[in-house]
Amino acid sequence: MEFTLKDLCERLNLEYSGDGDMIITHACGIDDIQKGGLAYIANPKEIANLPTPAGIFDSRKKNIQDLDLSQRSAVIVPIGTESPGSSLVYSNDPMLDHAKAAKLLHEGASKSGMVDDRACIGEKVKLGENVTIDANAVIYNGVEIGDHTVIRSGVIIMDNTTIGENCLIYPNVTIREHTRVGNGVILHPGAVIGADGYGFFQRERKNIKIPQIGRVVIEDDVEIGACTTVDRARFKETIIRRGSKLDNLIHIAHNVEVGEDSLITAQSGIAGSTRTGHHLMMGGQSGIKDNLRIGNNVTLLARTLVTSKTEDNSVVAGMPSRPIDIWRKIQALINSLDSLFERIRSLEVRLNKADDKE
C-alpha cells in the first residue's frame, strides 16, 4: 500500500521534515534506497561504515549531507539529527518505527478483505469482519476466523478450528481440527499445525497407534516458520505461548509447552511432553529430549542436544549438553589431546630410563 509521507507519519504519530506529499511505496535498507523508499538509521554512527553513496552521513555532526533523498525517498532518523534538504522522519526508536512503517506498507499490500469465489467454505463457518480468503483455500465445517485475518491460497483449515484476529496464514499451511490460534499469529507456507503426535505401543512386536486426540493451542503474536510442524497432544494440549517465534523446519512434538517470548531457530526440535520456560533461545539444529523441564531464560548454542533438566539462565552446548564454559574447555582440551598423548609417551620413556638406571 502506498502512502504520502505526511499520511504515513500521521499513522505512526511521528514528526517529519521535507516533502510531505512525497509518495512512499516501500520500506528498504539505507544502502539500497531508491525512489519511493523509506529507510532508517538507528544510530548515526552506523551509516559512516556503509560502502555506499549514502555513506556521506557525517556522524559527528549528526548530519545527512548530500544523501540524494530529496523528493524521492525518506529516512527515519533519531530525533535531533540535522537535515539539510532531505526528507527525514524523527523517531525515538527508528528501528521500531521502521518496522511499523514496513508493516503498513507491505503486509496490507494484497489484503482484498474478501472471500474469493473459488475458496471452499464449509458449513457453520463464522467469519469476522474484513476477512480475506484467497482462491482455493479450504475451510472445513465449524471453523471460526477473526476480523482482518488473511487466509492465502492452498491453506486447509480443518473442522472446528478457531483463528483469531489479524492473523496471516500463508499458502499451503495445514491446520488440523480443533486447533486454537490466537490473535496476530503468522503461519508461514507449508507449516503443519495439529498433525497427530507420534505415539505407539507394542503388542506382539507390532506398533499400535496411540490415539492423538488432544489439540494445539497457538497463543497471540506467535510466528511459525515454513514447513515447521507442531503436533497435537495425545490428550489435552500442545501449547506455543504468547510472543514466541519459530523458524523453519522445526518439530514440536505432542504435549510440548513452549514458554513465552521464545526464539527457536531453524531445524531444531523439542520432543514429547517437554515444558520450557519463557525466553528460551535455541540455536539452529538444536534439540531438547522428551519429558524435561527447562527453566526460564535458557540458551542453547547451535546443534546442542539437551538431555536433562536445565535450570533458569543456563547457557548450554554440545551433545549431550554441558554448561557453555565446560563445553568450551572440553573443546580446547580435545584440541590438545594429541600433545597429551605425546606428554604421556615422554613420561613413560623418562620413567623407563630411570628404571633402567636402577
Where in the sequence numbering do the catalytic residues fall? 254
Closest of 158, 261, 268 to residue 216, by C-alpha:
158
Footprint of a second copy on 72-91 (CB under 8 A):
none
SS (H, E, C) 56-118: HEECCCCEECCCCCCCCCEEEEECCCECCCCEEEEECCHHHHHHHHHHHHHHHHHCCCCECCC
Footprint of a second copy on 137-176 (CB under 8 A):
138, 140-141, 152-154, 156, 158-159, 170-172, 174, 176
First to last CA, the chain: 92
To a second copy, the closest distance from the beta carbon of 255 in angstroms equals: 10
> Among 115, 266, 294, 298, which residue sits at the site for a second copy (rule: CB under 8 A)?
266
Q: 57-80 burial, b for 16+ CB within 10 Å, e for fewer?
A: beeeebebeebebeebbbbbbbee
Tell me which stretch binds a second copy (CB under 8 A): 1-9, 10-18, 83-91, 258-266: 258-266
Q: Is 333 in the site for a second copy (CB under 8 A)?
A: yes
To a second copy, the closest distance from the beta carbon of 131 in angstroms equals: 18
Measured over the CA atoms of residue 42, residue 47, residue 48 and residue 51, the dihedral's sign is positive
Residue 172 or 314 with smaller CB distance to a second copy: 172
> Among 249, 294, 300, 316, which residue sits at the site for a second copy (rule: CB under 8 A)?
249
> Pairing between strand 206-209 and 200-203?
antiparallel
Residue 75 or 253 with smaller CB distance to a second copy: 253
Residue 58 or 177 with smaller CB distance to a second copy: 177
Footprint of a second copy on 88-127 (CB under 8 A):
93, 95-96, 98-99, 102-103, 106, 109-110, 118, 120
